[in-house]
Amino acid sequence: MHPRSRRDPYHGRVRVSELQPEASAALDAALARAREVVDPADLALAQSTIDCMLGHGPDPSPASDERTADLTAVVEQMLIDVASLDDATALRAARHFPDGGFADFVMASYVIEARTRLRLASDRLLGGAA
């Protein structure tokens, strides 16, 4: 029986993982991999920036250094319009990583954003947690 047939998603708690188990598992696996390859402080910075910009968290503390400011600028621009992320902004952030590290950070930020948006949509539209 499909989960939708058991519950009305607009009147009861429905988990996205019940509706889309394969996609949810893939997203969870991508997030687990991000936690393996990206510095936890960088992941926390991405998460707090995303939470703030999506109206789900407090304003983060002002950037304490160039690295934080550069990484925050990339995450913010990715949220607003990733296609208009300019080379100068990307290069400023990339200089803080060894080869391949910036790509890992960008992909981790994207996964965190997707997970956060999915959780917010699930909470607001389906009445349940992602």
Tell me if 85 is assigned to some domain.
Answer: yes
Res 5: pLDDT: 45
H, E, C per residue of 91-126: HHHHCCCCCCHHHHHHHHHHHHHHHHHHHHHHHHHH
Q: Does 120 score more than 50 pLDDT?
A: yes
Report the SS3 class of residue 14.
coil
Tell me if 82 is assigned to some domain.
Answer: yes
Q: Which residues make Cβ contacts (< 8 Å) with residue 52, sequence separation at least 6? A: 58, 59, 60
Could you report the per-residue pLDDT of 58-82, keeping only the tens digit for each?
A: 777 777 899 999 999 999 999 999 9
Contact 70, 46 (CB under 8 A): no
What mean pLDDT, rounded, does the chain reach? 86
Angle CA 114–120–124, to nearest 5: 145
Tell me if 7 is assigned to some domain.
Answer: no
Tell me if 67 is assigned to some domain.
Answer: yes
Compute the residue count for the chain. 130
Tell me if 103 is assigned to some domain.
Answer: yes
Residue 47: give its domain's CATH number.
Answer: 1.20.1290.10
Give residue 107's domain range.
12-126
Given pLDDT bands bounded at 50, 70 and 90, which one contains residue 13?
low
Tell me if 58 is assigned to some domain.
Answer: yes
Tell me if 69 is assigned to some domain.
Answer: yes
From 58-62, 76-80, 90-94, 105-109, the region with the lowest mean pLDDT: 58-62
What are the φ and ψ backbone dihedral angles of 96, each rounded to 5 degrees?
-90, 0
Res 124: pLDDT: 77
Domain count, the chain: 1
pTM of the model: 0.81
Tell me if 43 is assigned to some domain.
Answer: yes
Distance (Å, whole) CA 29 – CA 111: 10
Q: Does 112 score more than 60 pLDDT?
A: yes
Given pLDDT bands bounded at 50, 70 and 90, which one contains residue 1?
very low
Report in angstroms the alpha-carbon separations of 77 from 21, 24, 32, 85, 102.
30, 25, 24, 6, 15
Q: Does 109 score more than 70 pLDDT?
A: yes
5-14, 96-105, 114-123: which is most confident: 96-105
